[in-house]
Structure 1
Amino acid sequence: MVEGIIYRYRTETPWRDLPESFGPWQTVWKRHHRFSGDGTWNKILTELLSQADAAGLIEWEASVDSTVNRAHQHGTNLGRATGATVKLHESACRAT
């Protein structure tokens, strides 16, 4: 089961396309869903990280980049949350 879950994430295939050698895809998905919900994956990750850290296999370094990318003001379809009311402007020829 675990190999089927790993295969699915490594290849990014849909659950239905798992090879039959892993068993029925529904069973593999149910096991993954159950492990995700009850915290089993978190426990496995915590244990693996602690063992790797104890063996000196992990370098706890982080790279921080302060680059900011901003979109042009018309590059989004979201309105501005300014708190002001929106006024629709009509052309001068339509107003008369």
Structure 2
Amino acid sequence: MARFDVTDAEWALIEPCLPVAATGPLPRRARDQFNGILWRFRTGSGWRDVPERYGSWSTLYSRFNAWAKAGVFQALMEVLIAEAAARGQVGLELVSVDSTIVRAHQESAGLAIAGETLDALEQALTEEKGAALAQQPPVLRVMRRRSHSARTARAVRTRRRSTIAPPRAAAAGPGPRLPGSAAPGAG
């Protein structure tokens, strides 16, 4: 067993989630293959760099690809989270999102809050911080969204500007001649 391979207790939770073919031999090295897939993603290396102790890299890739398409890893995550929750070991402080891959809509830059909701949030902030609201730096800002008619008018102006053709410059000469055509004034 290598340094970061799954333990026997971890394997007891993982093994029932892995698919077993209805026909054909069972994968004898399913645990080694699973450890090889984990090794590849833990190290960030290529499939061809997976150590031979886990099996052939092409077999590992094929197994990973089949399991991913079958939704095995999603089901495995759900089972492991449910097991951790049953044991009381789920903590939201461990949840994080890598903001380098999160896409946000262009209108998500501001927060639109109703007046009474903003008042309630400011009151809660005042009570939590123990300082008067005037002494605290501004945390929330109300952003008024443009009405539908204002957005439509702006879109029409933009569209109108882009469809108006710029004036043509005076031609410097007669323009390009096509091969085989006579020169102007000839003939």
TM-score norm. by structure 2 comes to: 0.35
Distance (Å, rounded) in 1 between the aligned partners of 2:165 and 2:50 = 54
Cα distance per residue 1:10-65 (max 9 Å; x no partner): 000000111111111000000000010011111111100000011111123578xx
Deviation, structure 1 residue 86:
7.2
Distance (Å, rounded) in 2 between the aligned partners of 1:88 and 1:58 = 62
Number of residues of Structure 1 aligned to a counterpart in Structure 2: 77
Name the larger-Rg structure: 2
Write out aligned runs for 1:1-96 (5 A): 1-60=33-92, 84=159, 85=162
RMSD of Structure 2 on Structure 1 (CA): 2.7
3-state SS of 1:51 partner: helix
Distance (Å, rounded) in 1 between the aligned partners of 2:53 and 2:62 = 17
Could you tell me the percent identity over the aligned residues? 30
Larger relative contact order, structure 1 or 2 (CA cutoff 8 Å, min sep 6): 1
| Long gaps (5+) in structure 1 | 69-81, 90-94
* Aligned counterpart, 1:75: none
Task: Return closer, same or farther for 1:86/1:33 CA change in 2, 3 Å cut-off.
Answer: same
TM-score norm. by structure 1 comes to: 0.65
| Long gaps (5+) in structure 2 | 1-32, 97-108, 110-154, 171-187
